Chain A
Amino acid sequence: MSTVVFKKTEGLTDKTTHYCPGCTHGIIHRLVAESLEELGVLGDTIGVAPVGCAVLAYKYFKCDMHQAAHGRAPAVATGIKRARPENVVFTYQGDGDLASIGAAEIVHAAARGEKITTIFINNAIYGMTGGQMAPTTLIGQKAATAPLGRDPKLAGYPIKVSEMLATLEGAKFVERVSVDTPINVRKAKKAIKRAFEIQLSGEGFGIVEVLSTCPTNWGMSAIEALEWLRKNMMPKYPLGNLRDDNKGDN
C-alpha cells in the first residue's frame, strides 16, 4: 500500500511558470498557496500581482487575482479589502516594485493598518528588466546600472524595508525569512501562515520579507546563488521576527 507523503497544493494552477532555473519564486509561491489552502481560505482569497518577475503570478495562484501597476499593489489591495472586508487579500511584490516605485504605497498601507498580507521578495536586484540596481542592492554589488558595484556616494544605501515598516504601529506582523535551506523554508512557511492569521484576526497589516536569489542576473549557478545569499545578504538583512504584537495571546 502506498501513502501520499507530498501533494501539490490546490492553491496553484497547473501552468508552467516562466521563472528562471534556480529562482526561488517557485518555492515562495508554493508556501503562500499552501498557507491559504491550509487555512481554508483559498476560495475567499483575492491576490494582487506586481510588475516585475512575478507579473504573471495571476496565472499561477488558483484564486481571484488583480494585476497591478508598478508599485501600486498595496493601494489596489487596500481598495479590494475596503470593498470586500470579508475576503482575504494579499500582495506579492519584488524589491523594485515595493521598495522603489511603490515605497509610498507600502508605507501608507502599513501605517493605515490595512488588513492585508504582503509577501515581499527581496533578491537585491531588478530581475524582469535585466539586472538593474534595486533599492536593496548591497554596497559593492554589481548590477546592469551599477557596473562597478553599488557605490554609496553615487547610489546611496540599501533600504531595510522590514526594519522600517516595523516602526509603524499599523504593521502588526513583520518578519524576515529565507528559503535557502529546508529548515528556512519551513520557517518561512510558518511566518507566511502567521501573517495571514493576523489578517484573519483583523489585527492589521502583515508583511513577510523573503530573501531570495536571482541566479540569472547575479550571474551564478543556483547553488552559488544560495551561498552568496547566505554570505552577503543575511548579514545585511538578518532573519527573524521584527514585530508580532499579540504573539503572547496565541
Chain B
Amino acid sequence: MTSQALIIAGFGGQGVLTVGKLLAYAGMVAGKEVSWMPSYGPEMRGGTSNCHIMISDELIGSPVVAPHEATSVIAMNGPSLDKFEDWVAPGGHLFINSSIIERKPKRSDIHIHYIDANELAKEAGTMKAANMVMLGSYLAISKVLMEKQILDVFTKVFGEDKAKLIPLNEKALNSGKCAIENR
C-alpha cells in the first residue's frame, strides 16, 4: 500500500470528522501509522468542516495534506468541492456526493467518482449514513482497509451502545463499494 493522504470535507452534521476518525482508528488497529487532523474554529459553526487523514506504513511527517498532494478527496457538498478540487494530486481520486453537488469538476488529470450518497444512504436506512457510503466507495478504490476492519472498531469509536447501528452502517459501506464496482 502506498501512503494515503485523504481529505474528507462537508458541512457540519454530515459526519465528516467522525467518519474520518473511524477510518484513522481502524488504520491504527491494523498496525498502520495514522494521523487525523480536523479543521477547527468558526468554520465548524454552520460552514464547511474537514479533516486530513494520513495512513501509511511509515512514520508520518506532516499531518497536514499539502495542496496538490491529496491521494484522495471526499467532497460531501458543493463548497467542499470548490475548496478542495485543486488539492487532489495528479492521478488521484475525487469522490463527489452527487446527491447534492450539481457542478462537475474542472480537473481532467484525476479520477472522478460520482456517488449518489444521500440516496444510497436513505436506501440503507438513514440519510445520516451518507458519510459511510462515501467511505465504502473510498475503500473500494484505495484498498487501504477492508470494510470489516472498519466495522470491527465501530463501537470503539462510537461506544458500545451504538452496536445496534452496525448492520445499517455495513449496508451503507457496502452500497458505496457497489457504486464503484457496478458502474
> Are A and B in direct contact (Cβ within 8 Å)?
no
A residues in contact (CB < 8 Å) with B: none
